[in-house]
Amino acid sequence: MSELLECLLQALLPIARITGGYATVTDKDGVRIKTVDSQGQEVETLKGKIFNLAKESGSTGNVSVGPSQLTEGAEAWSLPLGEYVLAASNFERLKCEQELEESLKQALPFIARVAGGEAVLFNEEGRRVASVGVDGQTNVNYIGKVSVAAQQAIQSQRPVIGDSMSGMGAVAVRIPITRKFGFGFNNEQGVRRQQKLMEEVKKFQYARYNFTDIIGSSEAIEKMKSRAAFVAKGISSIIISGETGTGKELFAQSIHNASERRSKPFIAINCGALPESLIESCFFGYEEGAFTGAKKRGSPGAFEQANGGTIFLDEISEMDFNLQSKLLRVLQEREVTRIGGGKPFRVDVRVISSTNRDLVEMINSGTFRNDLYYRLNVVELKVPSLRERSEDIPALVRIFISEFNNLLGKFVTGISEQAVYHLCRYQWPGNIRELKNCIEYIMNIVSINESTIEISHLPHYIHSPISQKKYEQHIGTLAESVAAVERESIIGALKYTGGAKREAAKLLGVSTTTLWRKMVELGIITNVSIK
C-alpha cells in the first residue's frame, strides 16, 4: 500500500464526520477502494462500485461537486490526489434531516391540539408543505400558501412571531429547523374561544324587560317592585341581592328602563364567566397592539359602551380580588384607561350589581373589598325567594305553560288543583329558574292529546313526602339553615340534570367554579349517585 493511499484512508473518518455522510477513496476510474460512514464503519456493500463524480475528477484532474448517487437531494464533492480520488457526501446528514422532517410532520396533529390552532410545516421558500387543524385533519386549502414570516424565519434562522394567516386575531410562531424546512403553529382556537367568551359575557346591549314583565301579585314581590321603581329615578349605585334564580337581572333591566337613562345603553357583564385577563379588557377596553391577539384599532370596554347608560355587574361576588381595586378606581374617578393606552376616557354610568352571596361575610373573610362594597351598596334591594312568595306560583305556572305551548306545539290549557298544591308546597331552592325548568320538563312529557297537567306529570321529587319534610326536620342556627338549603339546592340541581355539573351550575345561577367549591364545602361527593 502506498504512503499516499494510507494517508487518505486514515483521513476518511474525520472527513465523514465533518461532512455528515460517507467518505470514500477511489482510483482514477472512480472504483471505490474503501468507504466509511460518520461512525468510522466501512460500508462493505459499496466496495468496488463506481462513483461517477470521482470518475469525472479522475479523468479531468479537477475538483467536482454534484449530486450523490446514494439518495436524491444529497450533495457530494471529489478531489483528485495523484493516482487516487478523495470524495465525500452529506448523505447521512440529509437522511437525518429527512427523518426529522417526517417526524415533525407526524407530530403536527399533536402540536395543533396542544397549541389550540393550525400547525404547519414549511420549506425554504416559506411555502406550506403540510398543514393540520386542531381537529387533526389536513387543511388542504392552506397547503402551498407562502408565508413571508416563514421566509424570514428560514433566512434569519431565528423564530419569528406575528399575525396568523388563517385566523383573525390569532398569533403564529414560525421556527426554523434547518436551512431547508421549519414548522409553525398558531392559537386560532384559543382566540376564537376568547372571542366567544367575550360575546357570552356581554349578554345584553339593551334592556328588554320592564316591571310589568315581573309576574306576581304577592305582598313580597309588589313591595320589591315598588321600591325598585322608586330608586330607579335616582342616580345612585344599586346592589340587588337574592338567591339564584330569583330574577335579579330582570329587576336590573326594569330599573334601567324606568330611569332617565332608558334611551342609553344597558351593558351586562357576568363577572364570574371570564378569567381576570379577559374580563379586564372587557371592562376597560384596549388599544391596538396592547397584547398578543389585540384587534386592530383596539376595542372599547364595557364602561365606554355603557357611557350615559347603565352597566350591570352580574355575580359581582365572583370578581377577582385584584380586579376589584381597578373597578373601585373607575367608580371613584369616573374615568377609564384602555389597556395599552395612556389617555383616560371620562364615563357617566350608573352601576347596578347583583350577588347571591353575603358580601359582608366575604369582607370579613378577606375576599371582597369593603371600600368597593360601600361604593356599590348605596341602595340595596333584596329579591324575595320563590318560597317567600309561593302565592305567585300559579300565575308563574300559567305564564310558563303558555310559553312552552307555543315553543313545543302542545295544547295544555290548565293544571289540576292537586298539582298546583304540590308545586306551592315545594321549597324551590333554584327559585323561578328551577320552576321554569320544571314546567319545561312537564311540558315535554305531556302527550299531545292531554290538556291538563296532573300530579303524575310532576317530577317525583316535587310531590315526594320526603322532599316536603326535609325542611321541617331541623331548626338550627342561621348558618346551619343556609348550608342545609344550599346543599339541598345543589343536590336537587344535580339530580335534575343527571349529574351534569355545568348544567347544574347554570340552573343554580352560579359559575362551575363556584359550584365545585360549594360541593367541597358541603361534603357533596360527586361520584356517588344521588337518590
Instruction: Say whether 106 sits in a helix, a strand or coil.
Output: helix
Under the banding of pLDDT at 50, 70 and 90, the label for residue 250 is: very high
Instruction: Say whether 182 sits in a helix, a strand or coil.
Output: strand
Residue-averaged pLDDT of the chain: 86
Q: Is 250 exposed, middle or buried (0-12, 13-18, 19+ CB in 10 A)?
A: buried
Q: Is the pLDDT of residue 348 over 90?
A: yes
Neighbour order of strands in the sheet with 350-355: 266-270, 310-314, 350-355, 238-241, 379-382
Q: Percent of the chain scored above 70 by pLDDT?
A: 88
Burial string for 404-438 (b: 16+ CB within 10 Å, else e) reads beeeeebebeebeeebbebbbebbbbbbbbbbbbb
State the DSSP string of 331-400. HHHSEE--BT--S-EE---EEEEEESS-HHHHHHHTSS-HHHHHHHTTEEEEPPPGGGGGGGHHHHHHHH
- So what's the pLDDT on residue 286? 77
φ, ψ dihedrals at 313, nearest 5°:
-100, 90
- Provide the β-strand partners of residue 86: 25, 79
Under the banding of pLDDT at 50, 70 and 90, the label for residue 465 is: low
Q: Is the pLDDT of residue 72 over 70?
A: yes
Rounded Cα distance, 333 and 448, in Å? 59
Under the banding of pLDDT at 50, 70 and 90, the label for residue 350 is: very high
Instruction: Specify the higher pLDDT residue, 71 or 125.
Output: 125
Span 297-325, mean pLDDT?
87
C-alpha cell at 417: 288543583
Instruction: Specify the higher pLDDT residue, 194 or 441.
Output: 441
- So what's the pLDDT on residue 521? 72
Of the CA atoms within 13 Å of residue 337, those in its CB half-sphere come to: 8
C-alpha cell at 104: 415533525
**For the ranges 64-73, 269-278, 428-437, 453-462, which has the lowest average pLDDT?**
269-278
Rounded Cα distance, 165 and 406, in Å? 46
pLDDT in tens, 501-526: 888 888 888 887 778 778 867 777 54
Under the banding of pLDDT at 50, 70 and 90, the label for residue 471 is: very low
pLDDT in tens, 74-105: 899 999 999 999 999 998 888 888 889 999 99
- So what's the pLDDT on residue 297? 64
Closest CA to 304 of 321, 281, 325: 281
Tell me how many degrees the CA angle 216-220-221 measures, rounded to the nearest 5. Answer: 35
C-alpha cell at 172: 403564529
- So what's the pLDDT on residue 474? 41
**For the ranges 39-43, 118-122, 132-136, 470-474, which has the lowest average pLDDT?**
470-474
Sort strands 335-336 and 285-286 into parallel, antiparallel or unpaired.
unpaired
Name the strand (E) or helix (H) holding 119: strand 119-123
**Helix segments in 45-143, DSSP class H:** 52-60, 91-115
Rounded Cα distance, 497 and 507, in Å? 9
Sort strands 350-355 and 452-453 into parallel, antiparallel or unpaired.
unpaired
Sorted by where each starts, the structural domains of the chain and their CATH numbers stand as 3-89 (3.30.450.20), 94-191 (3.30.450.20), 202-382 (3.40.50.300), 386-473 (1.10.8.60), 475-531 (1.10.10.60)
In one letter, which amino acid is 248?
K
Q: Look up the pTM and report it.
A: 0.55
Under the banding of pLDDT at 50, 70 and 90, the label for residue 481 is: low
- So what's the pLDDT on residue 378? 93
Under the banding of pLDDT at 50, 70 and 90, the label for residue 308 is: very high
pLDDT in tens, 446-456: 998 899 999 99
- So what's the pLDDT on residue 283? 82
State the DSSP string of 223-287. HHHHHHHHHTTS-S-EEEE--TTS-HHHHHHHHHHTSTTTTS-EEEEETTSS-HHHHHHHHHEE-
Q: Is the pLDDT of residue 338 over 50?
A: yes
Distances (CA, A) of 49 to 29, 35, 44, 169, 181: 10, 10, 10, 58, 33
Q: Is the pLDDT of residue 168 over 60?
A: no
- So what's the pLDDT on residue 233? 93
C-alpha cell at 60: 479531468
- So what's the pLDDT on residue 430? 93
pLDDT in tens, 192-217: 766 665 555 555 467 889 999 999 99
Cβ–Cβ under 8 Å, residues 26 and 80: no
Span 344-356, mean pLDDT?
93
